[in-house]
Structure 1
């Protein structure tokens, strides 16, 4: 049984409780981060905490925890749960109060929940065989750059993909790809140019995205940040996604159409290995 952290206390998961008046439960008024763990160490931790603080600022939330305090909690959970490989989830809510859309009079402390999830990240089936994806309209709210716990549409689309025999869905707006249900999206052209949508309110500012693009540039790969069309995707040499839980995962099929040769390509494979090498070097 896992040990979790809830509002200042470590306790067994079956004893964890939050208030029924917590706004994270009532309004999805909460943000989160997920940090990968390899060899018992945290990947990209500082960048995740920087994004957490940005998300909270965008929602007028306060963070009463220093980075070193959150790091200590993360490390304690990794140790208490003997987590060698997997994920640590952190969720921060605006706190508990009588149900009201207006939160301007709230004075209580934010709620905080952390828990671990053991998961094989290196020996990934998706990385080995490549993902099959389907396309769907992007009907999320207009601030996809804020990492909130309001993931209902992404959950619906991910479930639709699974029912259709696919692994995931990539979302489209005005004939162009925004991102995946829980990842950033890329194509590779015949000239080995890596194209991914530029940062804006339309997509999550992925921590793994940033790290992978830095690695790509270190390997002299050309990166172009712009939106790409559905037609460009279907005619691409390669496609792949990035996320904290998947690292770099190739895409080999879109709506039943093979991408490139229909197998994981050289660019995505090289980037995955290079990212993992750099991440292991800087893990804490």
Structure 2
């Protein structure tokens, strides 16, 4: 099946989708994005992604390129054209095209781009059976990590370092020794007492939409939760650890910097929350 993209009012073959050389997303990373997962033909957490997109736009004083309901309609049409059953749609909005100048342009029209990706599976069997490894690296990002901007150079460097170390993800560590989040995920641990711990929302982290759903699902199941920072050492002494994102749901972490977490196997709380999220997402709005 052909792969289709969307650019500023036009559905185009993916290879023909382009933006102007003076688009501010390209020149200044002056833009925001969301990734919406499609699972068994249904959007996962679409309302949450649209709400966060609106928040990111407002924080950067950027206009919607079209009414939110129209953007949702484009999402659905792009999913249909690509025949997506399992996959994702990447949605990016920039401030638009204007002569290069640091100040906001007066009359630029926002650029809206969407691309689609099909996936065979959201996790490899061995990742669920054995868990994945993470490494820890200093968090060198800017101070407004809560805005989902396209300025992702620091996470790119962290993810590359993880790959070169044979790890799946990098956990970013603040100057006080606490874990903020992963390069493209939220970070979680389960203490020896069975309490779920993850960093509270603030300017220090991106408040993941999957993260919010997992917190709700944990509460529904009576799993005790603490939203607070935790250190790398606390993570290494935890019973379980995992990462969450739109594409990983809840993925067990069994090694941190080469050292085992718990018994070195995926934990019961992690796998129960993963299944709970899958059940929830499969009952979501059809794509």
TM-based fold match above 0.5: yes
The verdict on how the C-alpha distance between 1:120 and 1:127 changes in structure 2, with shifts beyond 3 A counting, is: farther
In the alignment, which residue of structure 1 is the partner of 2:25?
24
Aligned to 2:107: 107
Q: What is the CA distance between 1:106 and its match in structure 2?
A: 2.2
Q: What CA distance in whole angstroms lies between the structure 2 residues aligned with 1:62 and 1:122?
A: 33
Q: Is 1:135 aligned to residue 136 of structure 2?
A: yes
Partner of 1:260: 262
Could you report, residue by residue, the CA deviation over 1:85-109 in whole angstroms, capped at 9, with x for unpaired residues?
0110000000000000011x42121
Deviating above 6 A after TM superposition, structure 1's stretches of 4 or more consecutive aligned residues are none
1:5-154 equivalences under 5 Å are 5-103=6-104, 105-125=105-125, 126-154=127-155
Separation in 1 of the partners of 2:162 and 2:4? 32
- Normalising by structure 2, what TM-score? 0.96
CA contact (8 A) 2:186 2:211 kept: yes
2: CA distance, partners of 1:64 / 1:30: 12
The whole-number CA distance in structure 2 between the counterparts of 1:24 and 1:272 is 34
**Shift in CA distance, 184/123, structure 1 to aligned 2, threshold 3 Å:** closer
- Please report the TM-score for the alignment, with normalisation by the length of structure 1: 0.97
Partners of 2:210 and 2:225 in 1: CA distance: 15
Q: Shift in Å at residue 123 of structure 1?
A: 4.6
3-state SS in 1 of match to 2:103: coil
The CA deviation at 1:127 is 3.1
1:216 to 198, 215, 218: 218
Alignment partners' CA distance in 1, 2:241 and 2:148: 24
Give, in whole Å, the separation in 2 of the partners of 1:215 and 1:124.
24
C-alpha contact (below 8 Å) 1:89/1:116 kept by paired residues: yes
Name the SS for the 1:282 alignment partner. Answer: coil
Distance 1:33 1:148, change over 3 A: same
**Counterparts of 1:30 and 1:128 in 2: how far apart (Å)?**
38
The residue that corresponds to 2:165 in the other structure is 164
Residue 277 of structure 1 is matched in structure 2 by 279
- Kept in 1: contact 2:254–2:266 (CA 8 A): yes
Matched, 1:248 2:255: no
Counterpart of 1:232 in structure 2 is: 234
C-alpha distance in 2 between matches for 1:123 and 1:233: 23
Is this contact kept in 1: 2:122–2:247, CA < 8 A? no
Per the TM alignment, residue 282 of structure 1 is displaced from its structure 2 partner at its CA by 2.1
Secondary structure at the counterpart of residue 15 of structure 2? helix
Contact 2:42 2:284 in 1 (8 A): no
Q: 8 Å contact 1:127–1:248 — kept in the other structure? A: no
- Deviation of the 1:122 alpha carbon: 4.4
Determine if contact 2:254/2:262 at 8 Å carries over to the other structure.
yes
CA-atom RMSD, angstroms?
1.1
Deviations 1:23-57 (A, max 9, x none): 00000001000000012221111110000010011
